[in-house]
């Protein structure tokens, strides 16, 4: 898939939010990531979601998404979330865009990051797949439906190698 061009001269015009920098549409998130070399995307979905649904593909703008679970298998909170962000090179002074399935879990991630001095931290409205419609299908909104690049999850590397790659990307 060809990556869409960023909107010229774009800076995030985030919807105001409590406890973090604000909410961005998927396109605004893409524009920020494409236009700011320091901006990083953190996908906070679970490993199972990455495997089943895919991940954002930032190769067209010379970046990779950082993959850090907000919750672990069975819905347990990831007690090491902030440490995982730090290990991936995500820290203060650079825009951080958090993405989950529908734009809900990523709010908590953005708030926690902000409280830890990381960011400015943003949430992506609609998430990667968006909310389910009346028929239960997630095909009405979100990163994928908006035509932004995504790819199958490449799990050909072990977790340590994946974290190392994320560290390199996050710099």
The pair of three-digit structure tokens given for residue 81, joined into one six-digit string: 């979330």
Model confidence at 89: pLDDT above 70: yes
Q: pLDDT per residue over 32-70, tens digit each? A: 999 999 999 999 999 999 999 999 999 999 999 999 999
The CA-based dihedral angle spanning residues 113, 170, 23, 129, taken in that order and rounded to the nearest 10 degrees: -110
Q: What is the CA angle 83-86-90, rounded to 5?
A: 140
Q: pLDDT per residue over 3-33, tens digit each? A: 555 433 335 688 888 999 999 999 999 999 9
DSSP-derived letter for residue 28 is: H
Q: pLDDT per residue over 109-168, tens digit each? A: 999 999 999 999 999 999 998 766 687 766 666 898 788 999 999 865 544 434 434 444
């Amino acid at each position: 898939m060809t990556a869409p061009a960023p909107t010229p001269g774009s800076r995030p015009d985030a919807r105001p939010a409590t406890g973090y920098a604000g909410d961005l549409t998927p396109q605004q998130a893409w524009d920020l990531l494409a236009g700011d070399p320091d901006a990083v995307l953190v996908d906070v979905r679970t490993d199972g979601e990455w495997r089943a649904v895919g991940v954002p593909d930032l190769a067209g703008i010379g970046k990779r998404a950082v993959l850090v679970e907000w919750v672990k298998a069975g819905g347990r909170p990831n007690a090491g979330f902030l440490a995982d962000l730090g290990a991936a090179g995500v820290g203060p002074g650079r825009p951080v865009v958090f993405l989950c399935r529908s734009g809900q879990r990523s709010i908590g991630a953005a708030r926690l990051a902000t409280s830890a001095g990381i960011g400015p931290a943003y949430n992506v409205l609609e998430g990667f797949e968006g909310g389910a419609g009346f028929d239960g299908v997630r095909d009405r909104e979100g990163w994928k439906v908006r035509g932004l690049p995504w790819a199958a999850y490449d799990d050909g590397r072990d977790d340590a190698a994946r974290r190392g790659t994320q560290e390199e990307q996050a710099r």
